[in-house]
Chains A and B, each alone.
Chain A
């Protein structure tokens, strides 16, 4: 048998090779001039006729090689198509053997996802008789997944629970059993409509029927029960989940919310601590729930716990969103005998709070933190897995001695980044302007560039480069080296007064750092030391936005709290910081 296949395959290849008939047609089509006037958007459609190769042509035009490396079975059936004259038959063949070569994955996926295809099924309004269900089932294109699809659409349309029950009854009577996935889907419907008794019933049935449940069902049960007066049951379920896997953070969220809703603050905090111990990151909802439900409650212990949450926000540089911020403010103001007052404000560039005139923490790192960060930058960002990836040992050595000999700098400039500030001008002019702007007050400048800047070209005029080198120190890295890493090193090496100039957000460098603590440190340092600039509309002027003087985190002095907050819930980029603050002070 094997021999037969081999021979036929070989025979075909040579045959195909000889008869040009099977040479892909698309080849000839591809050799045409591409005119450059096509805008980017239309390019795809313009070429689309040549890229759709696996359906348009009966011969597999994907195959441009003479010696294909495909499975034999596929080869045979594909070649067969070549013999066929009528494309109609081909398509039928395709359907039966699914011998698609181009997209076997797609086909597989379609098998997998077929149950999600029917989104237009309307669930009935009222409970139906078994017979009516049968009729519906038969009219359905693929009866074997009818119940599943029907349940999905019921969940989507939030059908009355009785309709779902009637379908379950029908299934139970015809099969004598109900599949687990249908039970879970029914559970979704119950949770959606807060049918507590039904949830309990389904749980009982599931427990009888199955030894253990899986995470999806547990999630639903815990969520459904924690929203009801049976919330203690959710806690026992959580214990059950712990036996077989780590509960998800939403499990904890439901339980904590239920506990705090019933004023069981100690229990809630216990769960919260357990969650942190399991390295789960609490959702902002959980944290907000703590503040919401402890409003007006007395107790030094409780207050300490909530301050602890605020410090957790500080540690992890999390900014609460507006509603969360409001919860915090209301809780502070509701503390009996606390005399706390909250105001919303914007902090000035000087870092002074306009409400209480308190000066916010400055963004400088301690000496230890500086050294730590510098070591980390050298180890993770510059060297990484292989020093040669970003630079070379000799070059880094040379740079280090260069910096040591000329310390300290006041401003380090990313030359290439600055030179692109105005695209319509020569790059060296841009750099020249920036250097001129920054070179006032005898500041010591270091400009980092690459060697190609030294070669006289239309963008880099030699005389201008010479002129600039009188005003600033220059270091030129190899053309294939990373200059950003050098920028970070030189700035950190110069100490805390040194700033750097680039429009880069430095995200990829932050990502190189190995632990989150250092990453936070890096961001803090970046905020305090990065000068961002933008070209002004007229003339040579460049606007520099000075670095933040103050640190943008939740902070306290004991009798004041300053909490930065986001306007919306959506995640900000890690380099953006909110400008709005909540100032809370004790009278």
Chain B
């Protein structure tokens, strides 16, 4: 650990500026040199009047002349293209036109692109691929830069070459892994169950399923590293479902060794019904405290197009108790939907389980969604607001109400 700190300090101190400057210069130097040579040629005929001299259609000649030979080839090749190749051509043209189109596209992606039902769907899909590519490129660039910097520091370190004494061998990661696994294994026997309901596959698009699985992987990671993990159950989990395929894609060979319980049974068959609580943002009931004897169910669904009431409907159908997080009560909500991602849910539940402190737990709600914590519960605020109003307006409202009931009873008497 210490060695790493040392390394880092060195990273920071070794400035990156010269390296970057070199690169930048190289880029700029090339065109500059070329344009310089050009301007030299042009200077010679600068003596005459520019407006006469300037041949405005010169570019057409250049374009037509320079490419005549190539053209003859392309024209001869001009035969009926297969649809895939044609699509590839169009994408290439779009890229040249400066649209958000990826440079490289696989056959599979191309097929997906062709199957998009509308023009806007195609555009969105291309944009998604394009951004994905950009992220990848940037990551690769960062990796390369980091490698270079590391090599530099290593060279410098090797010169100093001091042997460090350390009672620990560097096996941190595997040790930690083993410790975590022990904990999770214990939780599999003694821990509180937490159910992921895997029955939403038909409500989602393929991409949403992929996102869902990604979020579950994250939450499983959080759970594994927590002090007192949940015993995770995947219920209604069918083999060879989309979920399953995605999980295998994410976990690869670790999928078989994962310390969770996956079952195709419903949670109502596995657990007693009265202990189950379905967590859903649409629930009319608000969770007050975290109950250690109850079994919470999280619906594994990403709904990009907000599908209200899907999970609530599921809970209603099975006659389960439901609950929503008390977001309104503790947070001044700002914007955004109140459905949180699965990993956020997991972290909130873990924190509640360990501390029971709502404030600490709701730290995991994205900061952009709320303006701040409410120091006093909202209903108290409302009460004082009412008090102020009654002070301001006198006791008008109350009186009005009373008067109405009086009049009303009179009416009844008359009848």
Give me the interface of A with B, judged by CB distance under 8 Å: 3-4, 6-8, 10-12, 14-15, 27, 30-34, 36, 43-44, 46-47, 50-51, 53, 62, 64-65, 67, 69, 71, 73, 76-77, 79-80, 83-84, 89, 92-93, 96-99, 104, 108, 111-112, 115, 126-127, 129-131, 134, 137-138, 143, 148, 162, 165-166, 168-169, 171-174, 176-181, 184, 201, 205, 208-217, 244-245, 248, 385-390, 392, 424-426, 429, 458, 461, 463-464, 467, 479-480
- A484–B414 Cα distance when bound, in Å, is 37
| B72 CB, nearest partner CB in chain A, Å | 10
A selection of 11 A-B contacts at a CB cut-off of 8 Å is A32-B375, A34-B373, A80-B12, A112-B134, A129-B42, A180-B96, A205-B64, A208-B63, A212-B93, A426-B401, A463-B408
- A321–B310 Cα distance when bound, in Å, is 41
| B316 CB, nearest partner CB in chain A, Å | 4
> Which residue, A31, A115, A479, has most C-beta atoms of chain B within 10 A?
A31
Asked whether A169 lies within 8 Å of B66 as measured between CB atoms, the reply is no
Evaluate whether A480 and B11 lie within 8 angstroms (CB atoms) in the complex, with A7-B172, A31-B359 already known. no
CB neighbours (8 Å) of A36 from chain B are 381, 384-385
Quick check: is B46 within 8 A (CB to CB) of the other chain? yes
- A376–B33 Cα distance when bound, in Å, is 72
Asked whether A208 lies within 8 Å of B12 as measured between CB atoms, the reply is no
Quick check: is B413 within 8 A (CB to CB) of the other chain? no
Asked whether A205 lies within 8 Å of B28 as measured between CB atoms, the reply is no
- A129–B47 Cα distance when bound, in Å, is 12
Give the size category of B's interface with A.
35 or more
Could you mark each residue 27-50 of chain B with 1 if its beta carbon is under 8 Å from any beta carbon of chain A, else 0? 010011011001100110010001
Asked whether B374 lies within 8 Å of A209 as measured between CB atoms, the reply is no
CB neighbours (8 Å) of B343 from chain A are 69
Asked whether B74 lies within 8 Å of A173 as measured between CB atoms, the reply is no
| A300 CB, nearest partner CB in chain B, Å | 38
Quick check: is B190 within 8 A (CB to CB) of the other chain? no
Give me the interface of B with A, judged by CB distance under 8 Å: 1, 4-5, 7-9, 11-12, 16-17, 20, 28, 31-32, 34-35, 38-39, 42-43, 46, 50-51, 54-60, 62-64, 66-68, 71, 74, 78, 86, 89-90, 93-94, 96-100, 119, 131, 134-135, 138-139, 142-143, 145-146, 170, 172-173, 176, 203, 218, 221-222, 225, 284, 308-310, 312-314, 316-317, 332, 334, 343, 347, 359, 363-364, 367-368, 371-376, 381, 384-385, 397, 400-401, 404-405, 408-409, 412
Asked whether B172 lies within 8 Å of A389 as measured between CB atoms, the reply is no
**A205 touches which of B56, B60, B372 (Cβ 8 Å):** B60
Asked whether A180 lies within 8 Å of B97 as measured between CB atoms, the reply is yes
> Which residue, A89, A208, A210, has most C-beta atoms of chain B within 10 A?
A208
What total of A-B pairs shows CB separation below 8 Å?
Answer: 248
CB neighbours (8 Å) of A50 from chain B are 372
- A222–B20 Cα distance when bound, in Å, is 47
Asked whether B375 lies within 8 Å of A33 as measured between CB atoms, the reply is yes
Evaluate whether A208 and B373 lie within 8 angstroms (CB atoms) in the complex, with A12-B4, A83-B9 already known. no
**B172 touches which of A6, A127, A171, A205 (Cβ 8 Å):** A6
Asked whether A386 lies within 8 Å of B310 as measured between CB atoms, the reply is yes
- A446–B187 Cα distance when bound, in Å, is 56
Query: Please, which residue of chain A has its CB at the minimum distance from the CB of B411?
Result: A467
Query: Please, which residue of chain A has its CB at the minimum distance from the CB of B408?
Result: A464
CB neighbours (8 Å) of A205 from chain B are 60, 63-64
| A205 CB, nearest partner CB in chain B, Å | 5
Evaluate whether A173 and B38 lie within 8 angstroms (CB atoms) in the complex, with A53-B367, A166-B54, A211-B89 already known. yes
- A463–B28 Cα distance when bound, in Å, is 86
Asked whether B372 lies within 8 Å of A65 as measured between CB atoms, the reply is no
CB neighbours (8 Å) of A389 from chain B are 308-310, 312-313
- A4–B71 Cα distance when bound, in Å, is 55
CB neighbours (8 Å) of A69 from chain B are 218, 221-222, 343
- A556–B158 Cα distance when bound, in Å, is 94
Asked whether B39 lies within 8 Å of A214 as measured between CB atoms, the reply is no
Asked whether B59 lies within 8 Å of A169 as measured between CB atoms, the reply is yes
**A166 touches which of B39, B56, B63, B170 (Cβ 8 Å):** B56
CB neighbours (8 Å) of B142 from chain A are 73, 97-99
- A220–B74 Cα distance when bound, in Å, is 24
- A410–B251 Cα distance when bound, in Å, is 62
Asked whether A212 lies within 8 Å of B90 as measured between CB atoms, the reply is yes
Asked whether B74 lies within 8 Å of A134 as measured between CB atoms, the reply is no
Evaluate whether A33 and B96 lie within 8 angstroms (CB atoms) in the complex, with A73-B142, A169-B58, A172-B63 already known. no
Evaluate whether A171 and B59 lie within 8 angstroms (CB atoms) in the complex, with A31-B375, A96-B16, A112-B134 already known. yes
**B66 touches which of A11, A32, A165, A177 (Cβ 8 Å):** A177
Query: Please, which residue of chain A has its CB at the minimum distance from the CB of B20?
Result: A96
CB neighbours (8 Å) of A162 from chain B are 56
Asked whether B34 lies within 8 Å of A34 as measured between CB atoms, the reply is no
Asked whether A83 lies within 8 Å of B12 as measured between CB atoms, the reply is yes
Shortest Cβ-Cβ A-B pairs, 3 listed: A11-B1, A388-B313, A214-B93
**A43 touches which of B138, B173, B284, B371 (Cβ 8 Å):** B371
CB neighbours (8 Å) of A180 from chain B are 93, 96-97
| B45 CB, nearest partner CB in chain A, Å | 10
| B94 CB, nearest partner CB in chain A, Å | 5
- A6–B176 Cα distance when bound, in Å, is 10
Asked whether B42 lies within 8 Å of A130 as measured between CB atoms, the reply is yes
